[in-house]
Structure 1
Amino acid sequence: MAAVPRIERGDLGARYAYGILALVLAGFSVNATLGVVFRIGTPLDVLFCVLCVLAMTALQLGYVSRPGVAWTRRRSALVLSGQALLVGFPSLEFGPRWHGFTGVFLGSVLLLLPAVAAWPVLAGVVAAVGFLEFTRGSGLVPAPWAVTSAMVATLLTAMITYGLTRLARLVGDLHGARHELSRMAVAEERLRFSRDVHDLLGMSLSAITLKTELTNRLLAEQPERARAELEDVLAISRRAMADVRMVAGGDRRLSFDEECDQAQSALSAAEVNVRISREHRELDERVGTVLATVLREGVTNVLRHSVARYCEISVHEVGEVIRLVITNDGVTGEGADTSPGAGNGLRNLSHRVSQVDGALTTSSVDGRYRLRVDVPVSALLARGDEPGERIAVQRLRRPGIAPKMATAILAAVLSAMAVNTSVGIAVTAGAVWPGLLSATFVGLLAGLQFGYVSRPGATRTPVRTTLVLLAQAALVFLPILHFGALWHGLAGLFAGSALVLLPTFAAVPLASVAVVAIGALELFAGLTGISTWYSVLFVVVGNLITTLVVFGLSRLVRLVGDLHGARHELSRMAVAEERLRFSRDVHDLLGLSLSAITLKTELANRLLPEFPERTRQELEDVLVLSRRGLADVRMAAGRRQGLSHAVERPEVEVATSGS
């Protein structure tokens, strides 16, 4: 029962991704507004900027990125048109300070337009941003770096917007699909149960019916032979009850040798001339169970669906396969009914044989029916769980696309930082090697991030965590001594990692100190005046955005993993409940019949020497019960669980009479 509340993490995951995106948009809004306030500063421009920020954020969070909103062509076209206007005109006025919202618009384009149209629009807008930045060059910043920085920032924002929105929707869809996947798992478990009931009990009940009929004929003339047949019926009924318990418990293992002996006895009772030849290596439990099941079904078909007088069963190793062949001469002129409702036997067998990479074929020539199964010898060497147990629940363990998307967004963030920082350092230094050195440092940071901090399932210990955080701190702060202010934008990586790895009471102060320290370094490194304070705020807000992205995506990957585990647990519980319910159904359907058959057979065995007529009556009751049991098996295999009181009442009377 504890798993059900955990499923609500699906809604939490969607809200989590949506919240991260909202905070990132808030960061872009703050940076854009600060840029207008400090660089332009006229009240009209500030008012225009605030209105555009509010409108852009409302469209993005209210429609494009909101989980659960149904996108329509008309609404999407209106929203994209509005965002295009809110990006185009302010960009002409505010310049680079508006590139963040250009990326938000491109994220919406990727989300709302077909890929064939979205990617050309993305490429065109990014190229336009680079061109505008190149023509706008003021000389304060080298043109190549300014162009690269603008294009990378736009692409990065587009990917963050697109990725977080898709992630929120994926997690929501994952949450919504939990009942459907549980239903699939339950349906597959019920199908497995139906196959087991049909395959295990069909032959037993058919043999009970035939042996009871034979005993009834032998009562008057061969009482000793009749007693022997009654003993066989008792053994078969007890074995059938054990089979019911085995199916209910999910432990389905059969002995091929025992099934051969059972087939010999059942066919002989039906006055079928039987020949069994066996020449094969020792069978693996799994393969032996499959072949034993095939043998059961084949013999059941001979007993129920033919008028055979001869049956040959052979098992030989032929080349690279183990071959089981069942041949009989009981084919009627009507042929086999292969319609979908005709029965489940051969379909079940084909399914089981395919699970050990085998092949099942049937043929009917000159009045002889031949069933052949070939199982590759390699299957004997394959160990592991019963293939039939690999139900749909196991598919839930796959990580899916949501964690991969979160990792991809984080990789895009780190790649953009590496490109932007390295190009800026290389252009400023006028040499390639400083850029390569900075890219190496960023690569080491990325390795620590993906190999430990954000890796799902990573084993985290206090010692490892301390070493990783120290290494990240060294890679974030020590290069500042050489690269200066160009390295200030990487502090968010360390702050985000601290939030992921440490308890809240330690993580929040450490992350705050890291961001404030970078702001202080930016203040001391810059010139006095308004531009310096803008630079400080810009760096602080930028690092806060990076901190949120690193922390949020890392936590989101783990949250999605927990959600997958919760879905697996929910489906496992649903399957367990279905197994229990089916066990009750099988017990209710067959328990009374098999128990009554056993009791009445024991009674008939005791009555046989002195009361032959009473014995005959008990055998008639056993016949009624066995035929009813066969009908119940077909009903269970066909998944029709309805019971009729009018039918059950006479059976209860038969079962309890004479007890």
Structure 2
Amino acid sequence: MAGDGGSPHRWPARSVPGPQGETRADGLGALRMARAVTTAVLFGYVLNASVFVWVDGLRGLGLAGFGACLAVVFLLQLAHSTGDTLEWPVRARVLALSAQAVATFAPFLWAGTQAGTIAGFLAGSMLLAVTGPPRWALYGSVGCGVLLALWLGEAAPVGLFYGAYFTLLTGLMVYGVSSLATLVDMVHAARGELARVAVVQERLRVARDLHDLLGHDLSAITVKSELAYRLLPGAAERARQELQDVLAVARRSLADVRVVAGGYRPMSLAAELTSAESMLVAAEMRVRVRSSVEGLPESLETVLAVVLREAVTNVLRHSKAQHCVIEATVEAGRVRLSVDNDGVEPAPGAARFGNGSGLGNLEVRLAAVGGTLAVTVEDGWFRLTAEAPQAAEAAGPSERPQEEAAPPGQVASQPWHLRVARLITVVVLIGYGLLLVVNVFALEPSALALAGFAACVAVLVGVQIVLSLHEPRSWPAWARGGALALQAAATVLPLSWIGTPWGSMGGFLAGSLLLTLAGRARWALYAAAGSGVLLLSLTHGEPMEWSAYLTISTLLTGLVVYGISSLAGLVTQVDQARGELAKMAVTRERLRVARDLHDLLGHDLSAMTMKSELAYRLLPRFAGRAKTEIADVLDIARQAIAGVRTVAGGYQHMSLAAEADSALSTLTAAGMTVRVDVSVDGVPDELDAVFAMVLREAVTDVLRHGDGAECRITAGVTGHEVRLSVATDGAPPGALPTLESGTGLGDLAARLRAIGGRLTAESGEGTVRLVATAPTGAMTDGRR
């Protein structure tokens, strides 16, 4: 079913480079960016804290002790910010937070109030390592602790407010940068799961179509061929009539194969109108076709073409019509397609087609483009009418499996992780703006000067929020230049009345330079912004230590602004890439379905048609030869039924063959290079579904937890044992899939043990391998 030109149950070993390698690289780039920015920001705050205590005069053993505590805080914060802290055991989290709290507050005993510059890390760690409402209480308690320590150190009222505010803002910034990295990681890990869901939904649709369109026809061919076979040689004329019916059904089945396979590519309504006319004329009907429709959106035209094809198929299959009228028109912005035929007598009250029928499924397709499907019976005529807005652009449900339809009249909301990213971005930017106002307030300016400065900060923050949330690199050059010029003016203008450089004065401008420009030049301009602040401070006669602080603070603020803003943008980009990955997975599945249908059914149906025509011509004179041909038709029909069950069953029910194909499609869509060498020959039916579930869970685990670039899947029967192996690279040292009870793989391991099999995980040289084995004589209910 998946091999190219080989056995339907054998995949030759092959390497498939991921078509979405660029998307995967974007996702991994987002993770690297998140971690790099997090590390740089944390280090910047550590450096700033060191400058504070140095300027305050701390030397000797006191400075060494503060440095040791600062190192402990930095390393613990780095672990909390870049690792999956919530996966740690509770005891480990409690010990880590306790150690960080001691290292945070102990320096107050000898370093004084300047020790409070590192307390924000502890506030951020509380948000990262604790779940539920308690984390916010602990976050607030850190601020209260700093407030108490500063009060005991006899800090001024402004110092008390500034210390507590700075601690809480730094904690929120640390949480924001770290949690955004986690969000990017989560979205990146979910890419394959979405692709897998898309493939599963596509398979269910294919199984439904195969059942509706082909199952009945192939069964009818078998029944009528058997009847014709039994009628020979005694009742040749009756056998000839049955063969005539077989021919009609076989020709319709060929059309049905085209319906299923053709539904996976854009279709032309004009071409379908021509095809419908030809088919109905060949069926000796009087046909009238009228169309004034052109220039429809591709998605709408495809849906209407499928509706027309299904309607004509039903006319040929279910009716004894002599006349058929097909009309396609546009009125008041709505496209209307109607197919009328005479001689049809549906069951009373059949105003709707039930779920599972071909036309019933079309209601779903039309609903996806805002359309409707209706049938009416009047004066012996059966009318099918499909309507949809002419401007419909939506795709069918199978083409958008990853999206949720919004209720009528409502706009679909943004994904939750994107809303969180944007909220944190806005809160941190506003918080930094308020911090600037507090810094200048400490200089004791006049009320008018402070109000003017606050107005400039409002401009800075407002422009920054717009830049941070609206991808400024896509703006025209004049718009980007204007935004940067406005920020530069709001940065420098307060010097005319404040008279001295102020804390982080160029931070927003430095961050905006990184956001709006591309290439290495942006980093040069970012450094130039810091150098400008340094020169300005030295020109005003500020001490070297204070000038260094202003420069570091400016560059650090710029990096925070850039990190928060760019990470929110990266979350948006990776979120958009999810839909592309799912579409790629569905596209691959559709191509595979079309190939399967062609290989398994097209040849069989053509052969049945040819042999039925030959037998029909041989009767009644050569009944013996005709009977031989009919016997061949029966054999081919039975093979075709088995083929339909193979294709549809692989989509409806779990099988190792189908899951191997799904793994190939899904992992490739996720950007991995995949090698598949799977043979299901000799695998007992009792074990087929079990190993299919193991493979599905293994692939899910690869996509959810791994960053590997390659995956190798092998399966087959060796001696008296079935063996499945899934190996992937890119695993951290010692990382192994979880086989504990209560997990998907753990439950499967228990199931394998019950039938004498085993499931093991091993790692080495950056590779993780999951191996499942079971004896071929095992029974899935646990008996041997």
Q: Are residues 252 and 187 of structure 1, via their aligned partners in 2, closer, same or farther at CA, if it must alter by over 3 Å?
A: farther
The superposition leaves residues 129-176 of structure 1 with CA deviations (integer Å, 9 ceiling, x where unpaired) of 34554565556xxx34x3332232112210121122222222223333
Instruction: Tell whether the 8 Å contact from 1:199 to 1:345 is kept in structure 2 after alignment.
Output: no
SS of the residue aligned with 1:114? coil
Matched residue, 1:15: 32
Cα separation, partners in 2 of 1:131 and 1:494, compared to 1, 3 Å: same
In 2, the alpha carbon distance for the partners of 1:348 and 1:458 equals 48
Q: Taking structure 1 as the reference length, what is the TM-score of the superposition?
A: 0.74
CA contact (8 A) 2:511 2:561 kept: yes
Tell me, in whole angstroms, the C-alpha distance in 1 between the residues paired with 2:454 and 2:387. Answer: 51
592-601 or 237-246: which moved more? 237-246
- Show CA shifts across 1:583-605 (max 9, x none): 33223321232121121123234
In structure 2, distance between residues paired with 1:82 and 1:552: 28
Where does 1:614-653 land on structure 2 (aligned, <5 Å)? 614-639=625-650
Q: 1:224 to 1:52 in 2, by over 3 A?
A: closer
Instruction: Quickly say closer, same or farther: Cα 1:398–1:592, change in 2 above 3 A.
Output: farther
Compute the displacement of 1:624 (Å): 4.1
1:491 aligned onto 2:502:
no
Question: Per-residue displacement from partner, 1:592-623 (whole Å, max 9, x unpaired)?
Answer: 32121121123234323643443344334334
**With CA pairs under 8 Å and 6+ residues apart, which has the higher RCO, 1 or 2?**
1
Counterpart residue number, 1:370: none
Contact 1:414 1:442 in 2 (8 A): no
1:288 deviates by 8.7
How far off its partner does 1:236 sit? 2.0
Q: Does 1:90 align with 2:107?
A: yes
User: How many angstroms does 1:183 deviate by?
Assistant: 1.9
Q: Paired residue for 2:116, among 88, 94, 99?
A: 99
Matched residues in 1 for 2:188 and 2:312: separation?
44
Correspondence for 2:212: 199
Tell me whether 1:383 sits opposite 2:392 in the alignment.
yes
Alignment check: 8 A CA contact 2:30 2:567 kept: yes
- 1:251-287 deviation per Cα after TM superposition (whole angstroms, max 9, x unaligned): 5989899999999x99xxxxxxxxxxxxxxx9x9748
Q: Is the 8 A contact 1:80 1:108 kept in 2?
A: yes
Which deviates more, 444-453 or 105-114? 444-453
Q: Structure 2: which 5+ runs fail to align?
A: 1-17, 284-292, 294-299, 320-337, 349-353, 374-383, 405-411, 658-678, 683-784
Distance 1:136 1:326 in 2: 95
Asked whether the equivalents of residues 18 and 65 of structure 1 are also in contact (C-alpha less than 8 Å), the reply is yes
Matched-pair identity in %: 29
From 431, 439, 459, the counterpart of 1:416: 431
Q: Is 1:151 aligned with 2:164?
A: yes
* Paired residues of 2:201 and 2:398 also in contact (CA < 8 A): no
TM-score of the two chains, using structure 2 as the length reference = 0.63
Q: Where does 1:259-298 land on structure 2 (aligned, <5 Å)?
A: 286=303
Q: 1:346 aligns with which of 353, 356, 378?
A: 356
Q: Distance between the aligned counterparts of 2:538 and 2:219, measured in 1?
A: 91
* Equivalent residue, structure 1, for 2:89: 72
- Letter of the structure 2 residue corresponding to residue 442 of structure 1: V
The residue that corresponds to 2:198 in the other structure is 185
1:3 and 1:570 in contact (8 A); partners too: yes
Deviation at 1:536, TM superposition (A): 1.4
2:72 aligned with 1:55: yes
Larger radius of gyration: 1
Cα separation, 2, equivalents of 1:600 and 1:154 = 85
Shift of 1:459: 2.0
Alpha-carbon distance between aligned partners in 2 of 1:113 and 1:450, rounded to the nearest angstrom: 29
1:294-347 per-residue CA deviation (whole Å, 9 max, x = no partner) reads 9989999x99xxxxxxxxxxxxxxxxxx9x999659xxxxxxxxxxxxxx9739
Is residue 2:252 matched to residue 1:243?
A: no
Which residue among 35, 38, 63 is the counterpart of 1:46?
Answer: 63
Say whether the 8 Å CA contact 2:105–2:115 is kept in structure 1. Answer: no
Aligned to 1:451: 466
In structure 1, runs of 5+ residues without a counterpart are 267-281, 304-321, 330-343, 361-374, 647-659
When residues 194 and 478 of structure 1 are mapped into structure 2, their CA distance, relative to the original with a 3 A threshold, is same
Q: Judging changes above 3 Å, is the alpha-carbon distance between structure 1 residues 294 and 214 closer, same or farther for their aligned structure 2 residues?
A: farther
Alignment correspondent of 1:232? 248
Work out whether residues 310 and 358 of structure 2, in 8 Å CA contact, stay in contact via their aligned partners in 1.
no
Counterpart of 2:589 in structure 1 is 578
Query: Does structure 2 conserve the Cα–Cα contact (< 8 Å) formed by 1:453 and 1:501?
Result: no
Alignment of 1:255-654 (within 5 A): 286=303, 346=356, 353=363, 383-392=392-401, 400-425=415-440, 434-452=449-467, 455-456=470-471, 459-485=474-500, 487-525=502-540, 532-564=543-575, 566-608=577-619, 610-639=621-650
Kept after mapping to 2: 8 A contact 1:126/1:151: yes
Structure 1 residue 249: Cα displacement = 4.1
- Once the two structures are TM-superposed, the CA of residue 477 in structure 1 deviates from its matched residue by 1.4
Once residues 376 and 117 of structure 1 are traced to their aligned partners in structure 2, the CA distance between those partners, rounded to angstroms, is 60
8 Å CA contact 1:68–1:169 kept in 2: the answer is: no
Measured in 1, the distance between the counterparts of 2:447 and 2:647 equals: 75
Deviations 1:101-138 (A, max 9, x none): 21110111111112321112222332343455456555
1:123–1:41 Cα change, 3 Å: closer
Within 2, Cα distance between the matches of 1:562 and 1:468?
23
- In structure 2, give the amino acid aligned to 1:467: G
Give the aligned partner of residue 220 of structure 1: 236
Whole-Å Cα distance in 1 between the matches of residues 43 and 137 of structure 2? 28
**Aligned pair in 2 of structure 1 residues 95, 347: CA closer, same or farther (>3 Å)?**
farther
**Is the contact between residue 201 and residue 243 of structure 1 (CA under 8 Å) also seen in structure 2?**
no
* Structure 1 partner of 2:132: 115
Shift of 1:82: 0.5
The answer to whether the 8 Å contact 1:297/1:345 transfers is: no
More strand by share: 2
User: Is the contact made by 1:488 and 1:522 (CA closer than 8 Å) also made in structure 2?
Assistant: no
Q: CA deviation at 1:74?
A: 0.6
- TM superposition shift of 1:545: 0.9
SS at match of 1:489: coil
In the alignment, which residue of structure 1 is the partner of 2:664?
A: none
Q: Which amino acid aligns with 1:72?
A: P
Cα separation, 2, equivalents of 1:352 and 1:435: 67
Separation of aligned partners in 1, 2:528 and 2:23: 34
